[in-house]
Amino acid sequence: MSFSTISVIGLGYIGLPTAAVFASRKIKVIGVDVNQKAVDTINCGQIHIVEPDLDIVVHAAVTEGYLRASTRAEPADAFLIAVPTPFKGDHAPDLSYIESASKSIAPVLKKGDLVILESTSPVGATEQMAQWLAEARPDLTFPQTHGEASDIRVAHCPERVLPGHVLRELVQNDRVIGGMTPKCSEAATRLYKLFVEGECILTNARTAEMCKLTENSFRDVNIAFANELSMICDKFGVDVWELIKLANRHPRVNILQPGPGVGGHCIAVDPWFIVSQAEGQAKLIKTAREVNDSKPSWVVEKVDAAVADHLSRNPGKSEKDVVIACFGLAFKPDIDDLRESPSLEITKHIAGSHPGKVLAVEPNIESLPAALALPGVELCAIEEAFGQADVLLLLVDHKQFKTVPSSTLEGRQVVDTRGIWFV
Ligand code: SAJ
């Protein structure tokens, strides 16, 4: 099987870089997305998301004619589905985007095609996707009924790249290849070998699904441990950052860093897929989610206490006179991504309850997000915030915040959730 045309369904944070990297290997790529604006932007050689160097790779791929975007599926030899898998109100996974993507490619499938699910998915989702394809195309055979003799090969190959380092990690990371049959895995490996320099490791679809969920749950559980320690240490008057540094001197201890909570659209979401399918067994994973989700409220309580402390030292002042500056809105350092960000949630909460001014300091954005369009909230430069604020809340360890001299912080009420401001 050779791949002269590849189609990537979903041109977001994973699909677009993947499409661009295939195209950079001089393979014809058709990117498909329901968002007309994103499609138009890409066809102009530009990008609609923020990821270092992606603009250069997409521009080259489009101008050289290897990458083209469309809102409609077209025939190809391999289809990669990279659409979102959010959770519903009850934390159960929402597979509706995978269902729509399957139904959109089904009419153009032909014998010999390969379909890969890249979206992070609950166990069994690949089989479900193959079932949707089979229902739409009764004239073709699929692995769930015809095994190795099937017309269509199906595999799950989860993406594992770190936002901010996507182009490097796409090429260098090892890739887990979970075919519905061994031949499906072999076909998917041939496809990824077109650009993956890491090892392609073969397994089955269910194990590959669980592997991705396990990786993100592992990180969530370990961050929860750090966050729980930070709350315990606060009670004991122990500096958690010093404690972690000391404990990590042990050759078999490697504790992660506490923060204001866990954000992003992966680590705060994926563990719930395991919990929703195995609630009775996934006790630790569920508790970790609850610990990390409880951290923003704990931070808000710390800010309330800092405001009260400031007022007790300044008897003439009322709450309305107290200016609070929140440093960082993104979900992690040095990016502009505010999705599922605990920092944004905390700032919004403070803005909603504090009667005085709230300054949001986020060097990676140019205007306030809609969530903070509230009276009394201003997007503000670092120096201006230091000039005005009585209470300083550090939420994200952006590089711009790391160089603040300790003299600037002296005599202020400081709540530092990242341990970079030592006062
Ligand atoms: N965080 C901490 N303390 C830490 C590390 C992280 O509080 O010590 C917080 C961050 O501030 C952030 C959240 O966790 O709010 C998640 O950030 P992250 O850098 O750990 O992960 P993501 O969400 O950017 O990317 C993860 C990665 N998974 C793992 O590292 C196991 C990435 O490889 C996955 O591809 C990605 O999820 C995904 O798409 O699933």
pLDDT at 164: 86
For residues 66 and 61, give the distance between their C-alpha atoms in angstroms, rounded to a whole number.
Answer: 5
Atom 25 of ligand 1: nearest residue by CA position: 162
pLDDT at 228: 98
Fold equal for 5-198 and 217-416: yes
Locate 372 and state its tokens.
Answer: 């903070």
CB atoms within 10 A of CB 64: 12
Q: What is the mean pLDDT of residues 53-79?
A: 98
What tens digit of pLDDT does each residue of 18-61 get? 999 999 999 999 999 999 999 999 999 999 988 899 999 999 99
Q: What is the mean pLDDT of residues 321-344?
A: 94
Q: What is the mean pLDDT of residues 139-154?
A: 98
Q: What is the mean pLDDT of residues 281-289?
A: 98
Atom of ligand 1 nearest to the CA of 173: 33
Domain map (residue ranges) of the chain: 5-198, 217-416
- The answer to whether residue 293 scores a pLDDT higher than 60 is yes
- CA proximity to 129, closest of 72, 53, 184, 170: 184
| Dist. CA 267 → ligand 1 center (Å) | 6
CATH superfamily of domain region 217-416: NAD(P)-binding Rossmann-like Domain (3.40.50.720)
pTM value? 0.94
Please report which confidence band the pLDDT of residue 404 belongs to, taking 50, 70 and 90 as the band edges. Answer: confident
SS3 (DSSP) at 251? coil
SS3 (DSSP) at 339? coil
SS3 (DSSP) at 415? strand
Q: Name the average pLDDT for the chain.
A: 96
DSSP codes of every residue in 37-80: HHHHHHHTT--SS--TTHHHHHHHHHHTTSEEEESS----SEEE
What are the pocket residues of ligand 1 if the criterion is a CB atom closer than 6 Å to any ligand atom?
120, 159-163, 215-216, 219, 223, 256-257, 259, 262-264, 266-267, 331-332
Q: Are 61 and 44 in contact (CB under 8 A)?
A: no
Atom 32 of ligand 1: nearest residue by CA position: 162
Atom of ligand 1 nearest to the CA of 342: 15
Q: Are 188 and 165 in contact (CB under 8 A)?
A: no
| Dist. CA 331 → ligand 1 center (Å) | 9
Locate 225 and state its tokens.
Answer: 């441990």
For residues 82 and 74, give the distance between their C-alpha atoms in angstroms, rounded to a whole number.
Answer: 16
Catalytic residue among 184, 212, 286, 332: 212
Fold topology of 5-198: Rossmann fold (3.40.50)
- The answer to whether residue 1 scores a pLDDT higher than 90 is no
Query: Comparing 101 with 337, which gets the higher pLDDT?
Result: 101
Active site residue 332: no
Portion of the chain with pLDDT greater than 90, in percent: 92
Active site residue 183: no
What tens digit of pLDDT does each residue of 205-215 get? 999 999 999 99
- The answer to whether residue 423 scores a pLDDT higher than 70 is no
What tens digit of pLDDT does each residue of 148-163 get? 999 999 999 999 999 8
